Amino acid sequence: MRSSSGSAGRTVTDVARELGISSENLREWVKRTRAAEAIPAAELVVEVLNMAANSAACSPTA
């Protein structure tokens, strides 16, 4: 899976590694967000980054 905006050319695995989360989690967040509402790709990236930040904040290692 490749992003069409913001991180063009980067794989989900690359972005997940940078965020410190599993690629499976990132794929699931993208899937849920796309299913929940049809939003432009740029907004999708922001939503996924917000989810990652919230997840990291709740992490026992944060």
Length of the chain: 62
Q: What is the mean pLDDT of residues 51-57?
A: 81
- Closest listed residue to residue 45, CA positions, set 21, 26, 58: 26
- C-alpha 8/C-alpha 59 separation (Å) is 28
**pTM (two decimals):** 0.47
- C-alpha 44/C-alpha 46 separation (Å) is 5
Residue 48 structure tokens: 């996924």
Contacts 24+ apart (CB under 8 A), 22-29: 25/55, 26/52, 27/1
Q: Please provide the average confidence, as pLDDT, over all residues in the chain.
A: 77
Task: Render pLDDT for 1-31 as a digit per residue (tens, 0 to 9).
Answer: 444 445 567 888 998 999 899 999 999 988 8
Q: What is the mean pLDDT of residues 41-52?
A: 81
